[in-house]
Amino acid sequence: MGKTIAEKILSEKSGTDAYAGQIVMANIDYVMVNDVTGPIAFREYAKLGTDKMYKDRMVLIPDHYVPAKDIASAEQAKEMREFAHKHELPNYYEIGKSGVCHQLMVEEGFAAPGRLIVGADSHTCTYGGINAFSTGIGSTEAAAAFATGKLWFKVPETIKVVVKGKFRRNVGGKDLILKIITDIGVDGANYKALEFHGDVCNISVADRLAISNMAIEAGGKAGIFPCDELTRKYIEDTVRGEYTPVDADPDAKYCRVLEYDLYQIEPMVSYPHLPSNGRPVREADVRIDQAYLGSCTNGRIEDMRIGAEIVKGRKVAPGVRFLVVPASQKVYRQMVEEGLMQIFLDAGAFISGPTCGACLGGYMGILAAGEKAVSSTNRNFIGRMGDKASEVYLAGPATVAASAIAGRIVTPDQLEGN
């Protein structure tokens, strides 16, 4: 019987003939922790009482409270910094050369086709956009991976998602994944992998990363795309070492098949308080207080270009705060070099260095009671970005940028002059 991509990768990494439902012990290519999850993992590692450590496989990225917002977050960052120094870890990314962890994992070449990557952050599934099996774990599991280089996995069943055609203008990967989650629910892929097939060549790698990033919002263990020429070109200048692309077998077994015509996908917005509360933007009638463009979902240079094209020559609506947060220092630099920074500044946007701060309601961009935000982030749970009485609406970068100009949730086509 043929195998899915998830089954193949977990078979190869465990040295077994693995199929969905089986439990395997697999070799990890990389384990990542951030400034929130890392300190817990460091303390758990110390409890193991071993000096064994797979240093080259460990990646430490402070990003959630960067720069530190208070004494507590400064202590967390210090603990990570000192742990990296003590153990002479080669893959520690200090503020100033860092960014949002999932962006860094791709930019710095850790993520690659065929690899098995875990991270103490639920959105580690992002790297499936470039044909890796990647998934979130807990800090205790991360400590075990530090010491052993292995973890156990239950091989997930796989949902086959077949796409055809091309997106319309101002529609992209974020709209597709919001549509999928709306269709199947936040538990529709519970402990399953989403595997994408069909005309994936018409989906950019940046959009693939956004789609895979939100597989967890449907309960997914992973979201995986095939490796093609777009993938190889995207990583050719940054990937570390050799990699082996993995394709599903023609006779692989799937637990469900979903089909989508990309041309029929509309700009989507998910209403509070679940990513599954999606509807077409054209049906929205929501005035906003804040628009947020950034995060591990849509903070890449491609997203910044989309936003800049829409706001160029326009002004942010009175009474609206437009926060633009590139996902890494590299993206920030590209924005400067391409003139995007000037476009956003001229429009009246606030631009930050790379941080997860506002996305998780950590700091910088917190919403007050009664305030509403449209955001390119991945979650809109109660209190996610601030007060429990605030509201977060999820959308793609084009909708977020257009809404910042209009002062209400709209598509670019609904702006005056379009």
Write the pLDDT tens digit of every residue in 246-296: 999 999 999 999 999 999 999 999 999 999 999 999 999 999 999 999 999
Kindly state whether residues 158 and 279 are assigned to the same domain: no
> pLDDT-derived band of residue 70, with 50, 70 and 90 as boundaries?
very high
- Which pLDDT score, from 0 to 100, does residue 145 have? 97
Angle formed by the axes of helices 329-338 and 301-311, nearest 10°: 40
pTM of the model: 0.94
The two three-digit tokens of residue 415, written as one number = 């702006």
What CATH number should be reported for the domain holding residue 121? 3.30.499.10
The two three-digit tokens of residue 30, written as one number = 């990389």
Q: What domain range is 141 assigned to?
A: 5-260
Kindly state whether residues 223 and 107 are assigned to the same domain: yes
**How many CB atoms sit inside 10 A of residue 372's CB?**
17
Kindly state whether residues 198 and 329 are assigned to the same domain: no
Kindly state whether residues 245 and 294 are assigned to the same domain: no
Kindly state whether residues 250 and 155 are assigned to the same domain: yes
> pLDDT-derived band of residue 312, with 50, 70 and 90 as boundaries?
very high
- Which pLDDT score, from 0 to 100, does residue 417 have? 64
> pLDDT-derived band of residue 88, with 50, 70 and 90 as boundaries?
very high
Write the pLDDT tens digit of every residue in 142-169: 999 999 999 999 999 999 999 999 999 9
Beta bridge partners of 136: 119
Kindly state whether residues 163 and 220 are assigned to the same domain: yes
* Angle in degrees, CA 279, 214, 68, rounded to 5: 115
3-state class of 280 per DSSP?
strand
Kindly state whether residues 152 and 245 are assigned to the same domain: yes
Kindly state whether residues 208 and 354 are assigned to the same domain: no
Residue 287's contacts (CB-CB under 8 Å, 6 or more residues apart) are: 372, 407, 408
Kindly state whether residues 347 and 250 are assigned to the same domain: no
- Which pLDDT score, from 0 to 100, does residue 358 have? 84
3-state class of 100 per DSSP?
coil
Describe the chain by its helix, strand, coil percentages, rounded to 5.
Answer: 35, 20, 40
Backbone angles phi, psi at 5, to 5 degrees: -60, -45
Kindly state whether residues 143 and 230 are assigned to the same domain: yes
Question: Of 236, 260, 284, which residue constitutes the final position of a domain?
Answer: 260
Kindly state whether residues 246 and 362 are assigned to the same domain: no
Name the domain count of the chain: 2
Kindly state whether residues 253 and 309 are assigned to the same domain: no
Question: Of 228, 260, 292, which residue constitutes the final position of a domain?
Answer: 260
Question: Of 211, 239, 260, which residue constitutes the final position of a domain?
Answer: 260
- Which pLDDT score, from 0 to 100, does residue 387 have? 87
DSSP string for 230-263 = HHHHHHTTT--S--------TTB--SEEEEEEGG
- Which pLDDT score, from 0 to 100, does residue 210 have? 97
- Which pLDDT score, from 0 to 100, does residue 418 have? 63
